[in-house]
Structure 1
């Protein structure tokens, strides 16, 4: 059971890759932030998983969702 505003869950889908039609390889990560009560999601692409990038992604997620939850649960993130 989840309460409104109580928690958020954060995960990075790491080491994703796409190949262009010209054969150029693009590597990236997907930052995913979810509010479990409302199922509201914020997702963005990143090219690294540094602490600065994490803080920037969290800031953008807070703006997108309209606030900061009491708890944030991170899934296996060395950056944290």
Structure 2
């Protein structure tokens, strides 16, 4: 009887250990997937910020060019 209960306890412990290992593997895989997703999101945000900065820079350059053109036109108009 004791031998049988020992075998049952051992089998139960083995099953529990297997389940724990499986859960650990799943957790690692999930963590890896989350890390990849986070890296992708970070790269996308960085790219978006870079594009926004470039657009802002271009707008500023356009305003500067238009201001210079207007100043030049005004100077020419006052000359004649």
More strand by share: 1
Q: TM-score range by the shorter chain?
A: under 0.3
Name the structure, 1 or 2, with higher relative contact order (CA <8 Å, separation 6+): 1
Provide the TM-score with structure 2 as the length reference.
Answer: 0.22
More helix by share: 2
